[in-house]
Amino acid sequence: MTDRSKLVSIVEKLIDARVLCIGDVMLDHFVTGEVERISPEAPVPVLRVTDEQAMLGGAGNVVRNLVSLGVQTRFVTVIGDDEAGQEVARLVSELGISDAPITDGGRRTSNKTRYSAGAQQLLRADWETPVSLSSEIEQRVVEAAMGALSQCQALVLSDYGKGVLTDSAVAKLVKTASKEGKPVIVDPKGADYSRYGGADLITPNRRELAEASVMPVSTDEEITAAAEAIIERHAISAVLATRSGDGMTLVAANGASQHLPAEAREVFDVSGAGDTVAAVMAAALSTGVSSEDAVALANVAAGVVVGKVGTAPAHSGEIIAALHHQDISTAEAKVLTRSDALNRIEAWRGQKLKTGFTNGVFDLLHPGHVSLLAQAGATCDRLIVGLNSDASVKRLKGDDRPVQTEAARATVLASLASVDAVVIFGEDTPLELIEALRPDVLVKGADYAMADVVGADAVQGYGGQVVLAELEPDQSTTGTIAKINRESA
């Protein structure tokens, strides 16, 4: 079994990874509302729209996962000359990716619009041109991909069967990447895997593996046999079969196999989990991590995303929090992943409870920390504490900090009566976490000016409150460490 603390260090190193993703991008469009009557024109419900949301889907979701892991990401894809294509280009740019999608005036951008009332989906409408690229556009894709590949350490082919990954383009890309010693990870489509010959890893789900192998896939033994058949037929180095609630199985060309149980504690939505697995495998393998460790990490990441509603990426902080879950025994129910915290907050809001938020390193908990947390808890009904991960503390305070691991710090915080939830975040500031949680009250120490409080503008922007708590004099972890060093000198 892979050491989970080792996996934490792998996650922290993914910011050094450079990965190229090529494939079929889609615009996932969600229209939600309420149904209160049946149409007088036809026996169909009338949806009164209350909200709309658009996000990158298909290969775009692989890219979202890569960016959420901190990976330096390149992206080559094709859109149509239409409104959906413009939206895709905007969303790609917002991720900080420099590659603009290639525009093909002869095709429509894949656009999947889902209409829902509450948790019930009423209809899905698809607009797309699922045909292979013209030779001219294919050449542009290959040229762009070759240029980007020279700057990357791994290649992901995200195939949704919409035409971007033509047989000839796949063959050229796999050959070039293999020649340069760069792993090729394929999220496959269809039953013919010969087009992926020479790839290092393919990641079919159980149904796709059954279709491609034409073999049963009910048990561990059947999964292994089907994967071995794929490897032998198509000269693929390894197969990673994702099995939803049954976890995943890695089978290598040398006959080695590895079965991992599912990591999710609660499953809300399995959509997009395959994209997460492909992204994590590519990022990990690109940094020289072993296949066994990469699969263990991908399994944890998949457990994170299926605990979210809708297609959503796994953030590095969430994966680290999930990895620490088994290490944290005291007050375990209070130490949450970001997605768990969102679900908990939604329940609290349903009970009309006010939520508060504060954050910090909380290394060597002292009376000043206790006072701050007590004051923060007094401003709200439920207090959430954002805790800097070990990696972010090192970036902010140096290699000799923190003194205690994030698991230890989270355990101590969770044992306090004033704290209702602890969420570990890997970014340098808690802004992203604050924007996701949207607390009613944000609390920081009075040593901050209001203008310098990270997240203050966001909280005040939606009508929330920012409070500056009084500080206990002469209390700091840095001062405590300095005193210990002086006395031990």
Q: Are residues 276 and 364 in the same domain?
A: no
Residue 348, domain CATH:
3.40.50.620
Q: Is 195 within the bounds of a domain?
A: yes
Q: Which of 440, 436, 273 is nearest to 343 (CA)?
A: 436
Q: Are residues 240 and 345 in the same domain?
A: no
Q: Are residues 294 and 376 in the same domain?
A: no
Q: Which of 88, 90, 94 is nearest to 108 (CA)?
A: 88
User: Which pLDDT score is estimated for 64?
Assistant: 94
Q: Exposed, middle or buried, 473 (CB in 10 Å: 0-12/13-18/19+)? A: exposed
Per-residue pLDDT of the chain (489 residues; tens, 9 = 90+): 556 667 888 888 888 899 999 999 999 999 999 999 999 999 999 999 999 999 999 999 999 999 999 999 999 999 999 999 999 999 999 999 999 999 999 999 999 999 999 778 899 999 999 999 999 999 999 999 999 999 999 999 999 999 999 999 999 999 999 999 999 999 999 999 999 999 999 999 999 999 999 999 999 999 999 999 999 999 999 999 988 777 899 999 988 888 888 775 555 445 678 899 999 999 999 999 899 999 999 988 888 887 665 667 888 877 877 776 655 544 556 888 887 888 888 878 888 899 999 999 998 888 889 999 999 999 999 999 999 998 889 998 888 888 888 888 998 898 898 999 999 998 989 999 999 999 999 999 888 888 889 999 999 999 999 999 888 665 555 555 454 555 555
Domain end, chosen from 289, 323, 357, is at 323
Listed in order, strand segments (DSSP E) in 337-420 are: 355-360, 382-388
Q: Which of 273, 267, 326, 321 is nearest to 298 (CA)?
A: 273
Q: Are residues 231 and 344 in the same domain?
A: no
Sign of the CA dihedral with 146 first, then 152, 154, and 155 last: negative
3-class secondary structure per residue, 239-284: EEEECHHHCEEEEECCCCEEEECCCCCCCCCCCCHHHHHHHHHHHH
Amino acid (1-letter code) at residue 133: L
Q: Is 309 within the bounds of a domain?
A: yes
Q: Is 92 within the bounds of a domain?
A: no
Q: What whole-number distance in Å separates Cα of residue 72 and Cα of residue 426?
A: 16
Tokens of 37: 């009557």
Residue 302, domain CATH:
3.40.1190.20
Evaluate whether 241 touches 206 at the Cβ level (below 8 Å).
yes
Q: Are residues 264 and 374 in the same domain?
A: no
Q: Are residues 195 and 336 in the same domain?
A: no
How many other CB atoms are found less than 10 A from the CB of residue 66?
A: 31
Q: Is 107 within the bounds of a domain?
A: no
Q: Are residues 268 and 396 in the same domain?
A: no
Q: What whole-number distance in Å separates Cα of residue 325 and Cα of residue 335?
A: 8
State the residue range of the domain holding 273: 4-26+57-77+127-323
- Of 28, 99, 200, 275, catalytic: 275
Could you give the C-alpha distances from 175 to 17, 143, 146, 155, 170, in angstroms and in order?
A: 21, 14, 11, 11, 8
Q: Is 115 within the bounds of a domain?
A: no
Q: Are residues 273 and 369 in the same domain?
A: no
User: Which pLDDT score is estimated for 3?
Assistant: 63
User: Which pLDDT score is estimated for 171?
Assistant: 96
Domain end, chosen from 263, 293, 323, is at 323
Containing 169, the helix (H) or strand (E) segment is helix 167-179
Does the active-site annotation cover 16?
no
Q: Are residues 335 and 368 in the same domain?
A: yes
Query: Could you tell me how far CA 463 lies from the centroid of its own chain?
Result: 29
Q: Is 444 within the bounds of a domain?
A: yes
Evaluate whether 38 touches 46 at the Cβ level (below 8 Å).
yes
User: Which pLDDT score is estimated for 19?
Assistant: 97
Q: What whole-number distance in Å separates Cα of residue 242 and Cα of residue 306?
A: 13
Q: Is 82 within the bounds of a domain?
A: no
Q: Are residues 332 and 478 in the same domain?
A: yes
Count of domains observed in the chain: 2
User: Which pLDDT score is estimated for 269?
Assistant: 45
Amino acid (1-letter code) at residue 188: P
Residue 376's SS3 state is: helix
Q: Are residues 156 and 178 in the same domain?
A: yes
Domain end, chosen from 323, 355, 385, is at 323
Q: What whole-number distance in Å separates Cα of residue 317 and Cα of residue 430?
A: 11
Q: What whole-number distance in Å separates Cα of residue 290 and Cα of residue 366?
A: 41
Q: Are residues 215 and 276 in the same domain?
A: yes
User: Which pLDDT score is estimated for 338?
Assistant: 84
Q: Is 66 within the bounds of a domain?
A: yes
User: Which pLDDT score is estimated for 485?
Assistant: 52
Amino acid (1-letter code) at residue 50: T
